[in-house]
A and B are shown apart, each in its own frame.
Chain A
């Protein structure tokens, strides 16, 4: 039961729960990061093959994991990093403008 795919879906749902229940903007961003990590774990688990090694092709090595999801996730991690940085920047502006981190009190 405990494998990458299941854990990734649990992580995703934990993040979703965090977004729905929290009003604090920092916590919302943290939940988004957790969801992003869930997606990364999901893709990495897709390419996983039991008893195989990293996809560095050398003579005599034939059982490798699928390298494509890993390449895709490198792109996704970079994009997610940018999103988190941008979100935190907007939060600092929001804090300067409203003086609070509670999204319900920003009127």
Chain B
């Protein structure tokens, strides 16, 4: 049984999805449907805890059908895979608990697509074959296109269509790159590809890497490939937004790490990636400047945090990579929590505009969990964001401009999250006396409280995950263990964090005073439609191609 756990991880959600579809034929079977979905989402968590003991003996490989290795479809579980799969199991399970009340008027098809998406997510992380990566990715995104349409009817349809077109484009780029790899090497197994990739000539490597960067850029929403993300993440139902922002975007990051670790022998790759990441980190914050819609704000900050992660990976040192991977985990936790909080606010007030919320202290659990998440994303010390952010920042000390851009992005982050806090909670609204808001139901509170607990746990005990999973993962990717000293609770860092917080609050004041001029910026941003987005993506890709051609 325990030998077959890797494949069970993928097929358990899939089988329970099929059962759920059968049960949904009978009316009045809602309880059974929910229990089926619960089992399908809880069992992977259980499997992963079992697999963790086995992982300590080395990498787990599973060949489907018992074929020998180069021919079989392989599933590989190493430390990196385990990290991503474990956080997936936590976030998806908690989102499901949350969605029971939040989506109570929806039919069983919602949970069907939910489970299919989760199955695809596990598939992406476990597969050791680059074509299967494409297949599982399609499984994930096709279900998320459908799940997005369960949100606000009109806007979400448009967002879903946009996501579909851009996502298909990414898949085609990915397939072209796979084809080029196949024509040069003749294999599709990722492990074998990394052995043979240095035999490819530089010209082809440039084309392959650019195509991969285009595909991954779209999947991970690196600016300027981000056009689809904001509308898709903001219009989806809140539990789905939590998964999309927490996990689905991270699949792009995961594929990026795997592709980057293949070992392209090109010059100036790291610098280019770091510049792209820095642009993404700052651009997300600037995009959020004009927004009054709480979910659009959060979606822009997903882009910004992805920028931090990409900078960490681009540095490709042990501390940078470990910081990037740890930030993936942390971001999944706090951004999931933020979207659930936003969902709780929308559930009670019925509007997304933060100027019309004015909740005050009527929803204490939401308020406290929101503050914890906001402090985490701003990188204040006792919470988890601070650890990974300081790791990423310390990896770019040799590039002061990039470090400065990251600090500016942090200031913007503080400003935006205090903006939500100010408008949604503190500033009283004139309708507040008429309406009395209540706290959300208990089944929605529990996931939020658990995630807030994780925010504190991962910040207070960072070594729990770092030493056991993330540092082994990053050192195995870099093929060489270098001992690193990570300073926690460094007084200089804490002073820097609080300076950033104060500057962020000053920036908030500027934003509130100058809100009319910012509205002009909004008109400029809203001019970008689907055609322009894709045109910019293709142009950037050509520029990257030319840049790599010049420096090599």
Residues of A within 8 A of B (CB): 12, 16, 19-23, 25, 28, 32, 35-36, 38-39, 42-43, 46, 68-69, 72, 75-76, 79, 82-83, 86-87, 90-91, 93-94, 97-98, 103-104, 106
Contacts and interface: CB of A to CB of B under 8 A. Distances in A.
B529 interface: yes
A32 B175 contact: no
A80 to B, nearest CB: 8
B165 A28 contact: yes
B157 A93 contact: yes
Given A21-B531, A86-B142, A94 B175 contact: no
A6 to B, nearest CB: 14
Contact of A20 (B142, B182, B531): B531
Contact of A90 (B164, B172, B534): B164
Contacts of A23: 531
Interface string B510-552: 0000000000000000000111001100100000000000000
Interface of B: 131, 134-135, 138, 142, 145-146, 149, 153-154, 157-158, 160-161, 164-165, 168-169, 172, 175-176, 179, 182-183, 529-531, 534-535, 538
Contacts of B529: 103-104
B157 A90 contact: yes
A82 B157 CA distance: 17
Contacts of A91: 161
Nearest to A23: B531
Given A16-B538, A21-B531, A104-B529, A86 B146 contact: yes
Given A21-B531, A32-B165, A46-B179, A83 B158 contact: no
A43 B174 CA distance: 12
B531 A39 contact: no
Contacts, number: 85
Contact of A94 (B138, B157, B165, B172): B157
Given A19-B165, A35-B169, 12 more contacts: A19-B169, A32-B169, A36-B168, A46-B182, A68-B182, A69-B179, A79-B138, A79-B142, A82-B142, A83-B164, A87-B161, A94-B161
A12 B154 CA distance: 31
Nearest to A31: B165
Contacts of B158: 94, 103, 106
A20 B168 contact: no
Nearest to B162: A103
Contacts of A25: 161
Contact of B145 (A19, A43, A86, A106): A86
Contacts of A106: 158
B175 A39 contact: yes
